[in-house]
Amino acid sequence: MTEPTMQKDKEDERHDKGDERSESTARRRLSRRSILRMSALGVTAGVVGFGGGRLTAAGAELPDWTAADIPPQNGRRVIVTGANGYPRDGRSGLGYHQALALAVAGADVTIASRNKERGDEAVRRIQAAAPGASVRFETLDLADLSSISAFATRMQAAGDRLDLLINSAGVMGRATREVSIDGFERVFATNTLGPFVLSARLRPLLQNGSSPRIVWMSSSRGHAGGINFDDLQKETGYDYARAYDDSKLGDLLLAMECERRSKASGWRLTSIAAHPGVARTSIVLDGPGLDSSEGFRWRYIPMLWQDPAQGALPLLYAATSPQATGGGYYGPKGLGTTRGLPGVAILPENARDPRLAATYWETLERLGDVSFR
């Protein structure tokens, strides 16, 4: 395993480019603290700051689309990471609703997450809601590279193809910086490095699939994100919000770069990104908690939080719609892109930078000890 500290051994050329990008990022970056302060007051800028993107009418480009519009998925092998957040206490997970909708549509679904007890319960509930559904649980910890490798080995043994991978699992950081078993900052490990390594490990199966797709879960908080190659692990001045925002910009960079490399190399693999807007999941309670700015909104502005089943729709659109395009980015089209049916989302300027994406991709290949070649 390559140690996280290897990122400090950079070539002079990359360091120079990183300096230029850092200056550019600083000019473009939203003030995160300003966003959070406005969010606590419940004004529109605050709504955008938590889970939505820039105010845009781009979503109007798509006709209304719901889970009833999912094409038949019979025979398609699907993996959804996370997906064990079955409904409880008025909240549920986005991956659970993705897995449920795909199982209802006839897909052969594997729920991949850390908690076997919750995963087995999610399977039981999906099978109760969709009798005859083909759904199973497999253990996967995205913050543990050995767990990812073992999971990929099991998937290869279980079949020779995979048609759809939804990188849905994710976390928000807590007040104090935490690290994974491999020594990476926890949010970076779970939200960005883990999904990237998983996608690399499963690419041979995906290439054997029918119209294979990878869907990357992002957030329009990626607009406030930046990539600092000198401190990817947030060892200096850790901030949970910055860790999350940066990880979600990272997911967008990977989604766009994956599509570019697939086209250039003939992988036949479609790569798409999506975000859920603001949904009532457990990510705040399991992350920064109720004493955070996000926790304030959770307690006192409940109308901001849409049903997770609706928040899952942009991911399902990206995963199944024939109209979803490689390199596309989708999210809710209502209330400043924070809620509603799927629409076209606006990519952050940084996410459109192919040089930044290529450097990020190559850095994660080194840190995760994997290659898409």
Alpha helix stretches (DSSP H) within 105-232: 116-129, 145-158, 186-188, 194-207
372, two tokens: 């898409």
316, two tokens: 């399902």
d(CA 188, CA 285): 19
Alpha helix stretches (DSSP H) within the chain: 12-28, 32-41, 44-50, 94-104, 116-129, 145-158, 186-188, 194-207, 240-265, 293-300, 308-311, 313-320, 354-368
* Catalytic status, residue 244: yes
Letter string b/e over residues 24-53, b meaning 16 or more CB atoms within 10 A of that residue's CB:
ebeeebbebeebbebbbeeeebbbbbbbbb
d(CA 289, CA 282): 10
User: Beta strand pairing status for 164-167 and 339-344?
Assistant: unpaired
d(CA 160, CA 298): 44
Q: How far is CA 12 from CA 99, 231, 233, 344, in A?
A: 45, 16, 20, 38
d(CA 212, CA 329): 17
347, two tokens: 């990519």
d(CA 174, CA 288): 4
Q: Active site residue: 86, 240, 244, 329, which one?
A: 244
d(CA 27, CA 25): 5
Which amino acid is residue 279, in one-letter code?
A
Of 108, 105, 165, nearest to 319 by C-alpha is 165
User: 366: left (phi > 0), else alpha (psi -120 to 50), else beta?
Assistant: alpha
d(CA 8, CA 16): 13
CB 147 within 8 A of CB 193: no
- Which residues are the active-site residues? 244
